[in-house]
Amino acid sequence: MRLWRKIVKTGRVAEPAPLRDPDAPRPGVAAELAGSVQIRHVDAGSCNGCEVEIASAFGPVYDAERYGARLVASPRHADALLVTGPVTRNMEMALRRTHDAVAEPRLVIALGDCARNCGVFVGAYGVAGAVSDVVPVDVEVPGCPPEPEVIVAALRGLTGR
Amino acid sequence: MNLVGTLFVVALSGCAVAAVAAVLAPPRARLRLAGWCTAGAGAVGAAAGVAAVMADGMTSGVSAGAGQRWSAWLPELLPLAGVRLAIDPLGGVFIAVTGVVAVCAAIYGIGYCSHGLDGRAFQLVLPLFVAAMLVVPAAASVSTFLLAWELMAISSLLLVLAEHRRRAAVGRAGLWYAVMTHFGLVTILIGLVAFAAGAGGESFEQLRAAALSPAAKTVVFLATLAGFASKAGIVPLHVWLPRAHPEAPSHVSALMSAAMVNMGAYGIIRIGLDLLGGGPAWWWLLVLGLGAASALFGILQAVVASDLKRLLGYSTTENLGLVLVGVGAAGFFAASRLPVPAALALAAALLHVVNHAAFKTVLFLAAGSVLHATGTRDLDALGGLRTRLPYTTAAFAVGALCASALPPGNAFVSEWLLLQSLIHALPGSGVAGAVTMPLAVAVIALSAGLAVATFVKAFGVGFLARPRSAPAERARESPPAMLGAMALAVAGCAALALAPTLVVPALGRAVGVVFPGREVVSGELTLRLTGVAGMISPLLIAVTLVAAASIVLGLVRVSATRRARRAARLWDCGAGPISARMEYTATSFAEPLERVFDDVLAPESDVDVTPMKESAYLVERVRFHARVPDRIEHRLYDPLIAAVSAVGRGARALATGSVHRYLGYGFWALTAALIVLVVTW
Amino acid sequence: MSGVVGAVLQVIVIAVGSPLLVGVMRQVRARLEGRAGAGIAQPWRDLRKLMRKEAIAPHGTGWVFRAAPPLLAGTALVVAAVVPLVTTASPLDGVADLFAVTALLALGSVALALAALDTGTAFGGMGASREMTVLALVEPTILVSIFALSIRVGSTSLGSIVTATVEDPLSVISPVSVLAAVALAIVTIAETGRIPVDNPSTHLELTMIHEAMVLEYAGPDLALIEWASAMRLSVLLGLLASLFFPLGISGASTGALALLVSVIALVVKVTLMGALLAAGEVFMAKLRLFRVPELLAGSFLLALLAVAASFFLA
C-alpha cells in the first residue's frame, strides 16, 4: 500500500520527449530495423563513467525505451553493440567475438571519447586501440562521459522515433 | 484345433526349433538361425494372441468364462497333473505383447550378440525364456502356471547372468534377482496351493467356481499379490529391478522390462479379478496404494539416476505402478458397483501395459545401441550422439516422447484414459473414493511431470550437445539388424500413438473377460468413451500440430527477408571456446529436483579435502562424491541382510568340524523330537 | 458453421493480439514505474525487425535446435484453436480436452528445453533444468484443478465446462471455483514465466529460467519464440477468463454480431487481466528459485481442497 501511495504521488517522472534531432547520424541499416533496436552493452575497458550515464539514459527520467531501444541479455538478440571504453588487450578478442555473434543487420555504437579515440588512455600499454580499430563503427557518441541526452539522441537516430 | 491353438503351438515349436538350432548349428550360423527362428516364433505367438483377442466369444453372447477361444488338456505331458492350457482375450493381450517384443528383441540380438554373447548356452536360453513367457498367460491350471512361471524366472536369471565374467556387478545383480524372484515364487506357490486346496481342484475353472471363505480368499489374494508385485517391480519389492536391468544384455532387458514384468500385472488381474471374482474394496485400495507409491518412488529415482539403463529400470517401476493404479481402481470401482468406470480403468491399465511395452522396447534397444557404440551407460559421460548415431537418436527420441506422456505419444492416450476413469468414478464412489481419487490423480500428474523431466534429461543430456568423453566421441552407428529391430519397435509406438482406436476396442474385449458388459470406447478417428462423456483424437491432434507447425514455417518463409542461416560460434560470452566440461550433465540437470524432493530421496554427499603437507590451509586435492541411494533398499533391506548374515555367523560357531559334535547334535535332536512327540501325542 | 468461424476468429485474435497484450503489460509497468513506455505496438515492431534479421545456426546444434521454434509456435496455435475463447463450439473441441491442452503446452516447453540442451552451453542446460523442474511441479496442480472443475460437469471437455458455467453463472462463486481459480492463476504465472517465478526482462543469466533457454536464438527463430510465448500467455489468461468468467462467449449457433461481441469481450477480459498481472508484478520481487516449489505446493493444496469441496459440498 505504501508503494501504491508512492506511485500515485510520484506520477510520471519521464521528461517530455524533446524534438528529434534531424541531423543525428542514421546509417542505412538502421532503416531496416524500423523502430526497434535491441542493444547489447559491451564494456571494453571503460572507467564505468559511461555505464553510469547509460543507466540514467535508460532510467525513468530520460527513458530511452520509449523510442524503441532496449538493453538485452545476449548479443544474439541484439541489433546494436554499445561499446564503451578503449579496447583493452584482454577485451579485443572478446569484442570481435561479440560482434560476430550478432545477426545481420548489425550496428556498432562507440560511446564516449575513450571508445572513439582512446581518450586519456591513448598509447597506454594495455590498450589495443579505439573501437574502430577492432570492429567497424557506425555511430560515435562524443563526451567524457556523454550526457544522457546525447546518448538518447544518438539512439533515437537509430530507431528513427 | 482352431486358429488360435494352431498358431500358439506353432509359436512354441518355433521356440523349440530355435533352441535346438542354438545347440546344433555351427557357431557362424548360430546367431542368425536362432535369432530368426525366435523372431518367427514371436511373430506367430503375437498372431495367436491377436487372434484370441479379435475372434472372441463376446459376439455369441456367452459369459466371460466360456469366452475362451482355445483350450487343451495334455495329461501325458507331465506326471500327476498334466498340462492345461487355455487362451482367452485377456491372456491373448499379454501373449500378443510378449510375441511382438520377442520379435524385436530376437532380431536385435542377431546384431547385438556378435561380440561375446554368441555362445550355445545364451542362445539356447533366450528362446526358452520367450516360450515360458508365452505359456504363462495361457496356463489354465495351478501346476502349469507355476511351472511356466518358474521356467520364466530361471531362464531370465540365466540371461541376466550372461556377462558375469566381464563385470562383477552382474553376479551381485543376479543374486538379488534370484532371491527376489524366488521369494515371489514361494508366496505365489503358497497362495495358489491354498486356493487349490480350498477349491478341491487345480484347474482355473474349478478355482473360478470355488466358494472360499472371505478370510481364505484374503490370504490367497495377499500371498499372490506379494509374489506378483515382486515380479512387476512394485515398491518395496522392486530392488532387483534397477540392478538386474542395467546388468543384463540390452535385448534381454527389453524382454524383461517390456514383457516379463507385465506378467505380474497379469497375475493380479487373473487371480484377483477373474478367479477370486473381485473382493472387498480394501484389497483394491491396497493395490492402488502400492501402484501409486511405486509410480512416485520409481520416477523420483529415475529422475536423479545418471545410469541410462538404471533410469529405464526405475521408469519400469513407475509405469507398472501406473498400471496397478488402473487395476486397483478397476477392482475398487467394481467393489463399489460402478461397472462403467471399472471397465474403463481396466482398459486403461491394459492399454498402458501395451504402450509401456512398446516404448520401453524402443528405449532399451536404443540404450543397448548406445552401450554397444560407446561402452558406457553413464549419462554424465555421453552426449553428442545425435551426429554419430543418427538412427539410434531418432529412435530414442520417439521412445522418450512416448514415455513422457505428451501428445502425440502413446502413453498420453493411456494416461488420459486412466484419468478419465478416475474422474468419472468420483461422484459414486463414497468417502473412500473421494479421498483416494484426487490423490491418485495427483500422483499420476506428478509422475507424468517428473517423467517429462526424466526423459528430457535422458535424451537431452545423453544424445544432444557435445560428447563428454572420448568413447562418446568415437561412437559408431550400430549394425543393420539392431537398427531394423529398433525401427520395428518405433513403428509399433507410432501405430499405438496415432491409432489407439484400433487397439482399445480389442482391449475392451479382454476387459470383458473380467467385467462382462458393453464396449468401453467407440469411434474410428476419435476415441469416444461409451457410458460417460469424454473423447479425444490423438490422430487429429498430431495432424493439427503438424499443420500448425507447417503454417508457421510457411509464414516465416514468406516474411523473412534473409533466407540463409549463418553458422556461428556458440555464444561463449566472448571468452575462449566452450568445452564439454562446461556442459550441464545429467547430475546437474536433476539437481533442482533433487533439492526439492530432498526429504524423500535423502541424497548423500561427502567432501574429502586433502591438505598439503606444508600447511593445513593449502589444499592439494578436493574430492566431491554424491549419490542418491535407493532409500527403501537402504532402510529395509540392509538391516534385513545384516540380520541374516549375523544369524549365519552365529551358526558358524555350531559347526566346528568335529565329527563327534555333529553326532552329538543328531542324538540330541532325535531325543528332543521323541520327547516332543511323547508329550504332545 | 459459427463454430468454425469462431475458432478461426479466436486463432486470429490471439495470433495478432498477443504481442499487443505484451505491449500493454509493458506499458502498464512503465507507467507505474514513472516511465513513458514504448507504446503497445512495440512488441510487433520488435517481431517485424527480427523477421528481417538473419537466422543463426550455432556450431554443434542440429535438427532439435531448428525444430523447436516452429513446434513451440505450432502448439500455441493449436491450443488457441481448441480452447473456448470466442466460441464454445470449436470444431476441434472433440479432438482435445483440458488434459490435452495442458499436455500440448508442456510439449512446447519440452521442445524448447531440448533445444537449449542441444546448444551444449551451461546457460542452456541451466534454463532447461529449471524449466523442467517447474513444469514437473506445475503439472499436478493443473490436473487436480481440472479434476475439480470437471466433476460438476461430468466431463473434461472444455466446451462443456464453459457452457455449464454460462448456463449457471452463480456457480462461479462456489468454493470449488474460487479455490480452483486461485490455484490455476498461480500455475498460469508459473507456466508463462512471470514474476514471482521468473522475470521475463532479466539480464542476469543466473536468475533466468525461460530466457536462459533462448539465449542462442536470433532473427526469425527468436521472433517465433517471442510470438509463441506471447500467445501462450494470452491463451492461458483467456482460458482462465473463460473458465471463471465466461461472459459474452458465444455458443453453437450464433450470428455474426454475437461473434463480434464475443471477440470484444475476450479482448477486454484478457487486457484487463494482463494489466492486473503487470501491475501486480510491480509490487513483487522474484522469488528465489528454491522457494518456488513452496508456492507451487501451496497452489497444489488449494486445488486439492477444491476437489474435496466439490465432493463434500455437492
Here the cell at position C72 is: 513451440
Task: Please indicate whether, in this complex, the C-beta atoms of C49 and A60 are within 8 angstroms of each other.
Answer: no
Read off the pLDDT of residues B538-568 as tens digits, 9 standing for 90 and up: 889 999 999 999 999 999 999 888 878 899 9
* Contact between chains at B566 and A95 (C-beta distance less than 8 A): no
pLDDT band with cut points at 50, 70 and 90 for residue B346: very high
Whether C59 has its CB under 8 Å from any CB of chain A: the answer is: no
Q: Which of A76, A94, A104 sits opposite B574 (nearest CB)?
A: A94
Confidence tier at B67 by pLDDT (50, 70, 90): very low
Q: Which residue has the higher pLDDT, B287 or B572?
A: B287
Structural domain boundaries of chain B?
A: 353-547, 631-680
pLDDT in tens, B199-223: 888 899 999 988 889 999 999 999 9
Closest chain A residue to B569, measured at CA: A101
The count of CB pairs under 8 A between chains A and B is 22
Among B395, B261, B273, which Cα is nearest to B318's?
B261
Choose between B63 and A42: higher pLDDT: A42
pLDDT digit string, tens, across residues B522-535: 766 677 777 677 78
What whole-number distance in Å separates Cα of residue B478 and Cα of residue B472? 14
What residues are paired with C57 via a beta bridge? B567
B563 touches chain A (CB under 8 A): no
pLDDT at position A14: 85
Give chain A's domains with CATH numbers.
Answer: 33-159 (3.40.50.12280)
Contact A128, A134 (CB under 8 A): yes
Residue B252 and residue B309 in contact, taking contact as beta carbons nearer than 8 Å = no
Which chains pack against C, by 3+ Cβ pairs within 8 A? Answer: A, B
Rg of the Cα trace of chain B? 27
Q: What is the pLDDT of residue B330?
A: 93
Q: Tens digits of per-residue pLDDT, B23-39? A: 998 888 888 999 999 99
Instruction: Nearest by CB to A35, from C45, C211, C219: name it.
Output: C45
Which cell numbers hold the place of B681? Answer: 501325542
Cβ distance of B569 and A104 shorter than 8 Å: no
Q: Given this model, what pLDDT does residue B18 score? A: 93
Q: b/e for B423-459, b at 16 or more Cβ within 10 A? A: bbbbbebeeebbebbbebbbbbbbbbbbbbbbbbbbb
Q: Are strands B521-522 and B527-529 parallel, antiparallel or unpaired?
A: antiparallel
C-alpha of B326 from chain center: 15
Q: In this model, does residue B394 exceed pLDDT 80?
A: yes
Q: Is the pLDDT of residue B68 over 70?
A: no
Q: Given pLDDT bands bounded at 50, 70 and 90, which one contains residue B634?
A: confident
- B568 CB within 8 Å of a chain A CB: yes
When mean pLDDT is compared over A30-34, B489-493, C162-166, the highest value belongs to B489-493
Residues 425-484 of B with CB under 8 A from C: 426-427, 434, 438-439, 441-442, 444-446, 448-450, 452-453, 456-457, 459-461, 464-466
Q: pLDDT of C117-152, one tens digit each?
A: 999 898 999 999 999 999 999 988 988 888 888 888
Among the listed residues B451, B318, B468, the one whose alpha carbon sits nearest the alpha carbon of residue B379: B468
> Is the CB of C91 inside 8 Å of chain B's CB atoms?
no
Of B441, B533, B580, the CB nearest to C154: B533
Give pLDDT, residue C42: 94
Query: What is the distance in angstroms between the Cα of C237 and the nearest Cα belonging to chain B?
Result: 21
Tens-digit pLDDT string for chain A (161 aa): 788 888 888 888 888 888 887 777 778 788 888 889 999 999 999 999 999 999 999 999 999 999 999 999 889 999 999 999 999 999 999 999 999 999 988 999 999 999 999 889 988 999 999 999 999 999 999 998 999 999 999 999 898 88
pLDDT > 50? residue C93: yes
**Res B57 pLDDT > 50:** no
**Residue, of B370 and C247, whose pLDDT is higher:** B370
Residue B62 has pLDDT above 50, yes or no: no
Q: Measure C258 CA to nearest chain A CA, in Å.
A: 37
Q: Do A76 and C32 touch (CB under 8 A)?
A: no
Residues of chain A contacting residue B569, judged by C-beta atoms under 8 Å apart? 97, 100-101
Could you give the ipTM of this predicted complex?
0.95
HEC sequence for chain C: CHHHHHHHHHHHHHHHHHHHHHHHHHHHHHHHCCCCCCCCCHHHHHHHHHHHCCEEEECCCCHHHHHHHHHHHHHHHHHHHHCCCCECCCCCCCCCCHHHHHHHHHHHHHHHHHHHHHHCCHHHHHHHHHHHHHHHHHHHHHHHHHHHHHHHHCCCCHHHHHHHHHHCHHHHHCHHHHHHHHHHHHHHHHHCCCCCCCCCCCCCHHHCCHHHHCCCCCHHHHHHHHHHHHHHHHHHHHHHHHHHCCCCCECCCCCHHHHHHHHHHHHHHHHHHHHHHHHHHHCCCCCCHHHHHHHHHHHHHHHHHHHHHHHHCC
| First vs last C-alpha separation in chain A | 36
Mean pLDDT (chain B, rounded):
89
**B574 vs A104: CB contact, 8 Å cut-off?**
no
Shortest Cα–Cα distance, A124 to chain C (Å): 32
pLDDT of C25 higher than 80: yes
**Rounded to a whole number, what is the distance in Å from the CA of A115 to chain C's nearest CA?**
23
Q: Is C288 left (phi over 0), alpha (psi -120 to 50) or beta?
A: beta
- Global pTM reads 0.94
On the question of pLDDT at B59 being above 70, the answer is no
Q: Is B557 on the interface with C (CB under 8 A)?
A: no
| Mean pLDDT for the stretch of residues B317-324 | 96
**B287 vs C252 pLDDT, higher one:** B287
User: Taking CB atoms and an 8 Å limit, are B571 and A101 in contact across chains?
Assistant: yes
C313 touches chain B (CB under 8 A): no
Looking at per-residue pLDDT, the higher value among C268 and C97 belongs to: C268
Q: Which of C34, C55, C215 sits opposite A12 (nearest CB)?
A: C34
Q: What is the mean pLDDT of residues C240-265?
A: 85
Interface B-C, measured as beta-carbon pairs within 8 A, has a size of 265
User: Chain A partners of C39 at a C-beta cutoff of 8 Å?
Assistant: 66
What SS3 state is found at B235?
Answer: coil
Determine whether the interchain pair C62/B386 forms a contact, defined as Cβ–Cβ distance below 8 Å: yes
pLDDT of residue C65: 94
